[in-house]
A = this chain, B = another copy of it.
Amino acid sequence: MNEYRVIVVGVGPIGVACALAVAVDRSLELVGMVDLDPAKVGRTLGELSGGNGAKKSGPVVVDDLEKALHGGADVAVVTTSSKFDKVAPTLQRLISESVAVVSSCEQMVWPWYRHRELADVIDAAARRTGCAVLGTGVNPGFVMDSLAVTIASVLHRVTSVRCVRRVDAGLRRSPLQAKIGATLSQRQFRELAGQGGIGHRGLAESVVMLAAGLGECVEPGAVCESLEPCLADRAMQSALGLISPGEVCGIHNVAHWRSGELIIELDLTMAVGLADPKDIVHLDGPVNLSVTIPGSVPGDSATVAVLINHIPIVCNAQSGIRTMLDLPVAGCRGRDGRG
Complex contact B154–A306 (CB within 8 A): yes
**Complex CA distance for A231 and B149, rounded to whole angstroms:** 38
CB distance from A29 to the nearest CB of B (A): 17
Complex contact B153–A215 (CB within 8 A): no
**Complex CA distance for A195 and B215, rounded to whole angstroms:** 45
CB distance from A65 to the nearest CB of B (A): 26
Complex contact A327–B328 (CB within 8 A): yes
Interface flags, A284-296, vs B, CB<8A=1, else 0: 0011011111110
Q: A329 touches which one: B143, B149, B157, B289 (CB < 8 A)?
A: B149
A239 an interface residue at 8 Å Cβ cutoff? no
A155 an interface residue at 8 Å Cβ cutoff? yes
Instruction: Name which of A21, A310, A339 has the most chain B CB atoms within 10 A of its CB.
Output: A339
Query: A152 to chain B: which residues have CB within 8 Å?
Result: 309, 331-332
**Complex CA distance for A325 and B228, rounded to whole angstroms:** 40
Complex contact A308–B149 (CB within 8 A): no
Which B-chain residue is minimally distant from A285 (CB atoms)?
B332
Interface of A (DSSP majority class): loop
A213 an interface residue at 8 Å Cβ cutoff? yes
Complex contact A331–B153 (CB within 8 A): yes
Query: Copy number in this complex?
Result: 2
Complex contact B331–A157 (CB within 8 A): no
Complex contact A154–B290 (CB within 8 A): no
Complex contact A328–B328 (CB within 8 A): yes
Which B-chain residue is minimally distant from A154 (CB atoms)?
B302
**Complex CA distance for A150 and B330, rounded to whole angstroms:** 7
Which residues of A from 84 to 133 have beta carbons under 8 Å from B? none
Which residues of A from 292 to 339 have beta carbons under 8 Å from B? 292-295, 297-298, 301-302, 304-306, 308-310, 324-336, 339
CB distance from A284 to the nearest CB of B (A): 12
**Complex CA distance for A290 and B292, rounded to whole angstroms:** 8
